[in-house]
Amino acid sequence: MRCSKHSLLSILIGFVMAVSFSPGIVSANGPTLVVAPDKAVLSPALINKPIEITGSGWRPNEPIVVNIKVPQSITMKGVAPGEDVGIATGTADDKGMLKAQVDAMTVLMTFFQVDWDNTKNMIDFSKAQPLPPGTYTLEAIGFDSERKATATLTLLPPPKKEK
């Protein structure tokens, strides 16, 4: 009888330890996010060579949105101070892998904050208010699981024009 109580106690202790450590295991296996390039010059070249966003650890076929976290000190047209802005979407494949891009319209409207000239039905760069150079956090959120992953994107100033 004594041995069985000892065995039962050992099993119980093992179970408690497994349950208490499981949140760490779950978070270690959480989704990942990678931005390439992670440093980009804020120039029209972003339209021709888009920023790639990849990740893993999502639910199979889960829709995912990628937001840029805009600091409250930065004013963006049509966005409340400190509000996140969606810059890409994608759906994880059957293995939970994400592949998305920041498309040209998002670069123009979010990174450069250009205006739209309704009279000419075209983009008006003359009133552009680009995001200031700096490091921004990108956060991907799974629609179904609400699991999150972050990465950073550093926007570098455009090169100075020679006179």
Confidence of residue 110 (pLDDT cuts 50, 70, 90): very high
Work out how many domains the chain is built from and give that number.
Answer: 2
| Same domain, residue pair 87 and 148 | yes
Find the domain containing 19 and state its range: 1-27
- In contact, 62 and 143? CB cutoff 8 Å: yes
Asked whether residue 161 is assigned to any structural domain, the reply reads: no
Rounded CA-CA distance 50/56 in Å is 20
Asked whether residue 163 is assigned to any structural domain, the reply reads: no
Residues 1-19 pLDDT 10s: 455 444 444 444 444 344 3
Residues 53-90 pLDDT 10s: 999 999 999 999 999 999 989 988 888 988 999 999 99
This prediction has a pTM of 0.77
Only one residue has tokens 């990942």, namely 32
pLDDT at 128: 86
| Same domain, residue pair 127 and 59 | yes
pLDDT at 163: 64
* Beta-strand runs (E) in 25-147: 32-36, 39-41, 52-56, 63-69, 85-91, 98-101, 115-117, 122-124, 134-142
| Same domain, residue pair 3 and 82 | no
Q: Which of 97, 101, 103, 100 is nearest to 32 (CA)?
A: 97
